[in-house]
Chain A
Amino acid sequence: MAGVAPSAPAIGAGRAGRSAVPFLPQGISLRGLLWQAGLLVAVVALGWWLVGNAERNMAARGLSFGFGFLDRSAGIPIGEHMIPYTPADTYARALTVGFLNTLRVAIVGILLCTVLGVALGLARLSSNPLLRALTGGYIEVIRNTPLVLQLVFWHALMLQLPSVRQALNPLPGVFLSQRGVKIPGLMAEPALFWMMGALAAGALGWWLLLRRERARQVATGQRRPTVLPGLALLLGLPALSMAAIGAPRVEWPELAGFNFEGGLALSPEFFALLVGLVVYTSAFVAEIVRSGIQAVHKGQSEAAAALGLTQGQKMRLVILPQALRVIIPPMTSQYLNLTKNSSLAVVIGYPDLVSISNTSINQTGQAIEVISIFMAVYLALSLVTSLLMNLYNRAVALKER
């Protein structure tokens, strides 16, 4: 690839098209056309050469290009799987398991790093100098050390925890040991689904209420309180569901013999990867939040105060909507970074997509196919994330009137 791009810069696309030939449409120069034709020929020739080499090399190694291996039994033992999986399953299924593992750590990581990052960013702007200095030092240390180092550190820390029998128990129901983290889980039964449904309905109701009140305010200038009715919807509906069908039961982890039973188990690898990604990314998110809020002109804050808005109203109605415009685009790239960085799981042995792909390549030798698969997956993930964030960005962007 490196050999192709150099022809790009010297391209002469004179706007005037001095060397324009009579039969060419206006604005298209012969020189530009020649450059592009040259580039095309170079790319095609390079591609031809590479493909030819690859064919010869693969033939020499007794391999043939194709995705047929995906249907063969993989024989890769995977400790963590969100869908049923045994080593007898196919490569396609093993890679799917890896993909889901990547997705799991990325989604949880994005949520947590946003929360932690916003908190750190606000702490960095606190009026308390001690808090400001502590947060600043912490952020600098995290930002200026490599993520690989941090991941290995967290993993080593997890492995230094006591054995299962002497598991640390910092909070009721939470156990930390060499085998990972155990937390209480909700049992998947109808009561849980009903409650989740009620929660979603409550959130939707609040949103509709807000919309109606905003329309009313635009039309009449009056605004009725929305916080209390909203909270009543959000909490009341699940409470009703619990009263009608029964509360979802919580499953507490309990020590039974040499291991825990019940509850949700997070492996040391997953936990180390999650903590590492969240801590690392949140430091960057904090800086983005801080600079976003500082980017809002001071006059805005003073004007809000002059209008008699309370501190909370000022933040919610004046500062944040403007800060979000500055915050969203760099935030998108941090989310993408987190997703891509989750591939570092291979360093500490969490079975993510890259790690399983790596094993598959070693077993089958189908390097080109496997690498294309996971590169395509990451590209798709990147595109979907940017698409979602762009939609959100459009919602908060400056509406020019």
Chain B
Amino acid sequence: MSATLAPAGPTFAELARGFLRACFSGPLNIAITLACLALLVAVVPPLLRWAVLDATWSGNAAACREAGGACWAFVREKFWFSIFGLYPYEERWRPGTMIAILVAMVLASCQRRFWNRWLMLAWLVAAPAMLVLMAGGVFGLPAVATRQWGGLTITGIIAVYGLALGYPLAIMLALGRRSELPLVRWFSTAIIECVRGVPLISLLFMAAIMLPLFLPEGVTLDRLARVLVAYTLFTAAYMAEVVRGGLQAMPRGQYEAADALGLSYAKKMRLVILPQALAITIPSQVNTFIGLFKDTTLVVVIGVFDFFTTLRAALGDPNWLGFPTEAYVFAATVYFVLCFAMSRYSQRLETTFRPGQR
């Protein structure tokens, strides 16, 4: 797309003129424009004064109270705490490395040219490696109990591992729900509907309180592992419905062609149906994942310290009392940046995967 080939777009002056014309055409539009401007005038200057002009960027709580504006010094002070939580200070390089690997893997997974079996293999190696790095106890790494894990690290672990474990389960449930065997179909439908019909909170409670009752005596499951069980099940049920949408959208001819070739059920699904059904639903999968990612904040109800809960815990620091707004704005910004990036990514994929354009 060189600049010489592109048709000459409207100039800035033309754009501005068009914008103004649209804003001031007719009495109703003028009224709306004026109302919007009034809102902006009422909100933006005080916000700007609080967040930028009167803000304190470094120093202590006293300096913040002196200035009267936003206390970003507090966020700066608690930044690494919000990433690593209570993980032992001298071992922080471990979650740091883990996050670096995680980010690298996720970024690589977003590139279409890496979508092959090597990526899958890389995940299969990286996933246990990251957990070993975090938990320690081997290779001379001191063991760190999951109770001490926290912050953005935990948010990342729950979201990514939940998806990685839930995704295969989702495909199985979706295929089961479309199966011709009534018992399999009923069973899959029951699991999907029961999980989707109740709030995630209740699943978390179930995993935290009820699950230990159902395990054999003497067997205990780590709290984080219990969270992951609930979150995986939740992910699986929601993803299963997305995948089912893709299976239903496949033209009948695809199934019949696979049958005509004499492929077995497993081969038909693995080679013909699933690759297409999963591809066309990738944008909805990303959208579902955005919702699931936001839901990681719910682990607060059973006392797991994710990013947001860690920040809230930081509010209790007696040296920094009284800056909840700053903490919430910071948390909201982090979640917004991550979710917005994902939703943009899904929109970009949507244009690539529109049916009939592949």
Which A positions have Cβ atoms within 8 angstroms of B?
1-2, 4-6, 8-16, 32, 35-36, 39-40, 43, 50, 53-54, 56-58, 60, 126-131, 134, 140-141, 143-149, 152-153, 156, 340-341, 343-344, 346-347, 354, 357-358, 361, 367-368, 371, 374-375, 378-379, 382-383
Contacts and interface: CB of A to CB of B under 8 A. Distances in A.
B12 to A, nearest CB: 15
B23 A149 contact: no
A15 B259 contact: yes
B33 interface: yes
B312 A152 contact: yes
Contacts of A9: 171-172, 175-176, 266, 269
A145 B332 contact: yes
Given A9-B172, A53-B216, A140-B340, A40 B180 contact: no
Interface string B174-195: 0110011111100110010010
Contacts of B264: 12, 14
A141 B209 CA distance: 35
B265 A53 contact: no
Contacts of B214: 50, 53-54, 57
Given A5-B169, A144-B336, A156 B325 contact: yes
B148 interface: no
B60 interface: no
Contacts of A382: 196-198
A10 B266 contact: yes
Contacts of B198: 340, 375, 378-379, 382
Interface of B: 19, 22-23, 25, 29, 32-33, 36-37, 39-40, 169, 171-173, 175-176, 179-184, 187-188, 191, 194, 196-202, 205-206, 209-210, 212-217, 229, 232-233, 259, 264-266, 269, 290, 294-298, 300-301, 308, 312, 324-325, 328, 331-332, 335-336, 339-340, 343
28 contacts: A5-B173, A5-B187, A6-B172, A8-B173, A8-B184, A8-B188, A11-B265, A13-B179, A14-B265, A36-B181, A39-B187, A53-B213, A57-B215, A130-B32, A130-B33, A141-B332, A141-B336, A145-B336, A153-B328, A340-B199, A343-B201, A344-B201, A344-B298, A367-B213, A375-B194, A379-B197, A382-B196, A383-B197
B246 to A, nearest CB: 15
B332 A53 contact: no
Contacts of B182: 36
A43 B176 CA distance: 15
B317 to A, nearest CB: 16
Nearest to B264: A12
Given A343-B202, A371-B210, 6 more contacts: A53-B214, A147-B294, A344-B201, A354-B202, A367-B213, A368-B210
Contacts of A11: 175-176, 179, 181, 184, 265
Contacts of A144: 290, 294, 335-336, 339-340, 343
Contacts of A341: 199
Nearest to B175: A9
B294 A146 contact: yes
Contacts of A149: 297, 308, 328, 331-332, 335
Given A15-B259, A32-B181, A346-B201, A131 B32 contact: yes
Contact of B32 (A126, A153, A383): A126
Nearest to B217: A56
A126 B266 CA distance: 51
A339 to B, nearest CB: 9
A273 to B, nearest CB: 13
A13 B176 CA distance: 11
B213 A148 contact: no
Contacts of A347: 300-301
A145 B294 contact: yes
A295 to B, nearest CB: 15
A379 B194 contact: yes
Nearest to B183: A36
B265 A128 contact: no
